[in-house]
Amino acid sequence: MKLETLAALNAARRARRAALLVTSIADGTERLVDPAALATDPLAAHLDLALRTGKSALVEEGDAQYFISVQTPPLRILCVGAVHISQALVPMARQLGHDVIIVDPRTAFATPERFPDVPLYAEWPDAIIPELGIDRYTAVVLLTHDPKIDDPALHIALRSDSFYIGALGSRKTHAKRVERLEAAGFSAESIARIHAPIGLNIGAVSPAEIALSILGEITASLRLKPDGSRA
């Protein structure tokens, strides 16, 4: 690998950006592909698959073979709400290799005793989230059921590249949320990004079951194609 290629990969890693390195098996030539430019690449289908699965692979296109090396940052889940669902979600997410951040201004809930060894911010979302940042590998999960806390975080998330935005609440609760977002100037297309009620419909009842349904929906958003088919 060329030094300039290695430097570019390291820079992408530090910036939490995905990177794709294509190497020709025939002559060893290599090139970096910007994930934002997949549509125009001759290996677009293979690159999209590698990016969605996070797996490097040897592929064939025509009479040529290429090795696609994919580098993606760890998936990060930003939970707004230090609630029982969050407590159940943390260990499950860690088993999947995901990082979790908890944000909740309510100091009675956001305590190290309830969330040991978890980055925990007892601050208002609109004060701390811009500092934490939301990128295309960050899932935003809104769990407080309190518009004063959830809505400011939702406004930031809808203006970000987050690949998943989910909000707790019934359909009636979400309808009121949509009215507030429309009044705030958000378009129908933007609002449609929100998964609400949050989580896959598995009949979840307990905090652990709801956490499981949320993680399932996050995984589907990350791995499946836009039409819902497998990568």
The CATH number of whichever domain residue 103 belongs to comes to 3.40.50.720
**pLDDT average per 10 residues of sequence, the chain (231 residues):** 81 83 91 84 88 87 91 93 97 95 97 96 97 93 96 97 95 96 96 96 96 97 74 56
Domains in the chain, number: 2
> CA 139, CA 86: separation in Å to the nearest integer?
13
Whether residues 19 and 110 fall in one domain: no
202, two tokens: 């598995």
Give a yes or no: residue 137 inside a domain.
Answer: yes
pLDDT at 40: 85
Tally the C-alpha atoms within 13 A of residue 174's C-alpha that lie toward its C-beta.
16
pLDDT at 228: 65
| Boundaries of domain holding 17 | 3-71
Please say which residue of 43, 71, 99 terminates a domain. 71
DSSP 8-state symbol, 74: P
Phi, psi of 166 (to 5 degrees): -125, 145
Please say which residue of 24, 42, 71 terminates a domain. 71
188, two tokens: 């129908």
pLDDT at 230: 63
pLDDT at 167: 97
Whether residues 159 and 214 fall in one domain: yes
Question: Strand, helix or coil at 69?
Answer: strand
Whether residues 53 and 163 fall in one domain: no
Smallest Cα–Cα separation from 158: which of 142, 176, 173, 143? Answer: 142
pLDDT at 227: 64
Residue linked to tokens 């910036």? 15
